[in-house]
């Protein structure tokens, strides 16, 4: 029996992820942020032509199984670098990023399964000053960006995709074989990225926190929160800090911009949530009190907005799907 599957990552720069001196370049229009990629990929090349991502990594794998063992397999795909448009006044120029060789080791074989891992990426189109350990203690160099994808095929017809490593910046989204957004890297860390020394091309990958993708409704609500008429308050919390406690009064909504939080109800941990989720709607709609405790697992950034930012019917629909304590 032949089994096949694929995974594609798209990497992009959200406005809230850039900090420090480099943010001035974006604010001045010299470089640009990216709109979120679509919830589904239909034509990767069209997205690249439209400058919708900084780089992509696609991994396709097929395998033939006999008596529960993989007897043949094939792999294709690889990295696809995007570009950066630079503008100074009315003038503009587009620079292509520089791809590095795709890294794909021998397939791993097990009892009834086969797994393929692929790292792809390269150097960003534009260099910027980065700290160095020796004099003159700075270097003008483009940092590396990459993702490491995995595809595991099983003799029973199942296919699993994963994101096992990635550069700390920019943001990485992973799409499944049907083209739908499936996974996200939970953290973007510009400072760590600028100082990055460990890369797959140096035989050392960076671990990555992976979370499930949010719902389509949450993506629409996040657009309204961040790009509506009233700007939200953006807050930062360190890992271990509590965003809200169960039972506290609350009349605002939270959009998790970056990082991972745990959801606890009555002392039970119901799960972890990553970037893109909208939180706090039940307190707004129901009793005016928080129904769960939200704690930062990693450093997080959240946008806090008033309830009147969002249509009430949309909040009710979101709340119906967020009753995590009922599903635990």
Q: Give the least confident one: 72-81, 91-100, 129-138, 260-269.
A: 129-138
Give me the domain span that covers residue 240: 216-327
Rounded distance between C-alpha atoms, residue 125 and residue 44, angstroms: 20
Contact 245, 302 (CB under 8 A): no
Sign of the alpha-carbon dihedral angle for 66, 70, 74, 78: positive
- 3-state SS of the chain: helix, strand, coil percent to 5? 20, 45, 35
Q: Which of 212, 236, 252 is the last residue of a domain?
A: 212
CATH number for the domain spanning 238: value is 2.60.120.10
Rounded distance between C-alpha atoms, residue 118 and residue 59, angstroms: 7
pLDDT exceeds 80 at position 211? no
pLDDT exceeds 90 at position 134? no
More confident of the two residues 91 and 148: 148
157 and 302 share one domain: no
Mean pLDDT of the chain: 80
pLDDT in tens, 245-298: 999 998 888 888 888 999 999 999 988 888 888 888 888 787 788 989 999 999
pLDDT exceeds 70 at position 154? yes
The reported pLDDT for the residue numbered 8 is 98
73 and 140 share one domain: yes
Rounded distance between C-alpha atoms, residue 292 and residue 268, angstroms: 10
Contact 199, 258 (CB under 8 A): no
How many distinct structural domains can be found in the chain? 2
Q: Which of 160, 177, 212 is the last residue of a domain?
A: 212
157 and 172 share one domain: yes
The reported pLDDT for the residue numbered 201 is 79
Q: How confident is the model at residue 140 (pLDDT cuts 50, 70, 90)?
A: very low
More confident of the two residues 110 and 317: 110
Q: Which of 162, 193, 212 is the last residue of a domain?
A: 212
More confident of the two residues 249 and 188: 249
Percent of the chain's residues with pLDDT above 90: 39
244 and 189 share one domain: no
Provide the phi-psi class of 28: left if phi over 0, else alpha when psi is between -120 and 50, else beta. Answer: alpha
The reported pLDDT for the residue numbered 6 is 98
Question: What predicted TM-score, i.e. pTM, was given to this entire model?
Answer: 0.68
189 and 220 share one domain: no
pLDDT in tens, 2-46: 999 999 999 988 876 555 545 554 454 445 667 889 999 999 999
Percent of the chain's residues with pLDDT above 70: 68
The reported pLDDT for the residue numbered 307 is 72
94 and 41 share one domain: yes
202 and 227 share one domain: no
Q: How confident is the model at residue 186 (pLDDT cuts 50, 70, 90)?
A: confident
72 and 126 share one domain: yes
pLDDT in tens, 63-85: 999 999 999 999 999 999 876 55
Q: Give the least confident one: 159-163, 202-206, 292-296.
A: 202-206
24 and 158 share one domain: yes
């Amino acid at each position: 029996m032949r089994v096949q599957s694929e995974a594609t990552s798209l990497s992009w720069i959200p406005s809230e992820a850039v900090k420090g001196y480099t943010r001035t370049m974006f604010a001045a229009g010299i470089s640009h942020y990216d709109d979120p990629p679509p919830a589904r990929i239909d034509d990767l090349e069209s997205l690249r032509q439209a400058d919708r991502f900084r780089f992509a990594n696609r991994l396709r794998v097929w395998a033939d199984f006999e008596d529960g063992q993989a007897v043949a397999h094939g792999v294709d795909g690889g990295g696809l670098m995007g570009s950066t448009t630079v503008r100074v006044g009315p003038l503009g120029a587009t620079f292509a990023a520089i791809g590095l060789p795709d890294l794909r080791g021998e397939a791993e074989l097990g009892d009834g399964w086969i797994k393929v891992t692929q790292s792809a990426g390269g150097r960003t189109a534009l260099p910027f000053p980065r700290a160095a350990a020796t004099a003159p203690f700075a270097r003008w160099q483009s940092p590396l960006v990459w993702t490491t994808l995995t595809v595991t095929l099983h003799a029973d017809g199942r296919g699993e995709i994963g994101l096992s490593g990635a550069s700390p910046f920019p943001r990485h989204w992973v799409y499944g074989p049907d083209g739908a957004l499936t996974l996200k890297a939970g953290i973007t860390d510009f400072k760590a990225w600028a100082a990055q020394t460990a890369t797959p091309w140096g035989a050392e990958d960076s671990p990555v926190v992976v979370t499930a993708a949010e719902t389509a409704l949450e993506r629409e609500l996040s657009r309204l929160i961040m790009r509506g008429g009233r700007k939200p308050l953006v807050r930062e919390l360190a890992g271990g800090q509590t965003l809200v406690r169960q039972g506290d009064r609350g009349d605002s909504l939270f959009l998790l911009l970056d990082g991972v939080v745990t959801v606890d109800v009555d002392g039970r941990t119901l799960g972890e949530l990553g970037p893109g989720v909208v939180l706090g709607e039940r307190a707004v709609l129901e009793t005016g009190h928080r129904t769960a405790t939200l704690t930062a697992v990693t450093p997080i950034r959240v946008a806090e907005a008033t309830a009147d930012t969002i249509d009430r019917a949309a909040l009710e629909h979101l709340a119906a799907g967020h009753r995590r304590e009922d599903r635990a």
